[in-house]
Amino acid sequence: MEPDRWLGVELRHLAALEAVARERSFGRAAESLGYTQSAISQQIATLERLVGERLVERPGGPRSVSLTEPGEVLLRHAQAIVARLEAARADLAALAQGQSGTLRIGTYQSVGARVLPELLRRFRADWPLVDVQLSESPSDDELLSLVERGALDLTFAMEPLPEGPYDKASLMQDPYVLVVPAASDVAARESATVPDLDGLPLIGSRSCRSNDLAESELRIRGTSPVISFRSDDNGTVQGLVGAGFGAALVPLLAIDQNDDRVRVLALEPEIPPRRIAIAWHRDRHRSPAARAFVDAAVLLCGELQPQLELRTHASLG
């Protein structure tokens, strides 16, 4: 029987394909991996011979290289394999560090402003030797992809989580509120209804999944949101509302309630709240520090939850 040529495929071949796809250049791919350009070219040629397909288009000259259709198919598998190797390396590093070392946390603005300060204070009191590193993004997908690749140990994210190798602990429910200019007619009300938003200019976010869910809920209820501007910066959104540029439908944690330029109104009836969780890779080793951070987050958010509910039911006056 003829030996299976695929058994000759090595991790370095797949890493070379992933780098070429990412950099669109053999030279830049070589630089990113610490190889020579000729070594990368040889690895790609060997990979093409082993799988029996042309994987890379080489136009020559200054034009960027690209993957063929078989190359794109193989790339998806290569990325998953390389990601698992990076995760394995992170696991061994976490295991070796024990109660010291680094804990990498993904977050977004509202959690970073309203939850993380007290959470970090409590965690550092019990784990003073752990260096906590934070990465912020408005996109759950980006943060979770970093968890999958082993670049983050934990991340805050919205439920339901997208499909992937994730486990999570549910933390809290963050109600949606309507933020309006303090000088507007709507600001005199005790609360707002969903039909009040029909035709009202809204300021939304660009890439936050909570905004997508809120706008989708409005459409389900027959209200068509009119988006006058989008920004992923909570301060910009609130500042524009205060200036009378529009209103904003946002989770309560995203709002600075001490800002006298705006009024925060509860919605009657409520739309389903944003559900916040903390997630990790289910197949990766979780260090004692990571487990302790999750436990501290669950405890703190359990303490904060009644405050959110009481403020919303009191119409946030």
pLDDT score for 216: 85
Query: Quick check: 1 pLDDT over 50?
Result: no
Same domain, 195 and 150: no
Same domain, 167 and 43: no
Kind plus residue range of the DSSP H or E element containing 132: strand 130-136
* Residues 89-105, mean pLDDT to the nearest whole number: 72
Band (pLDDT 50/70/90 cuts) for residue 99 is: low
- Residue 221 DSSP one-character state: T
What confidence tens digit (pLDDT) does each residue in 195-206 have? 777 778 899 888
* Residues 214-232, mean pLDDT to the nearest whole number: 84
Would you give the distance in Å from CA 287 to the centre of its chain?
21
What percentage of the chain exceeds 90 in pLDDT?
49
pLDDT score for 186: 80
Same domain, 135 and 283: yes
Band (pLDDT 50/70/90 cuts) for residue 192 is: confident
CATH number at residue 104: 3.40.190.10
Helix axes 11-23, 26-33, angle to 10 degrees: 120
Tell me if 264 is assigned to some domain.
yes
List the single range of 13-22, 54-63, 123-132 with lowest mean pLDDT: 54-63
Q: How far apart are CA 288 and CA 281, in angstroms?
A: 15
Tell me if 91 is assigned to some domain.
no
Per the CB < 8 A criterion, the answer to whether 12 and 32 are in contact is no
Determine the structural domain holding residue 287 and report its residue range. 98-171+276-311
Q: How far apart are CA 42 and CA 91, in angstroms?
A: 31
- Phi, psi of 140, deg, nearest 5: -60, -40
pTM value > 0.75: no
> 212-248: b or e for each residue (b if 16 or more CB lie within 10 Å)?
ebbbeebeeeebebeeeeebbebeebbbbbbeeebbb
**Average predicted confidence (pLDDT) for the chain:** 87
Q: For the chain, how many structural domains are there in total?
A: 3
Query: Quick check: 310 pLDDT over 80?
Result: no
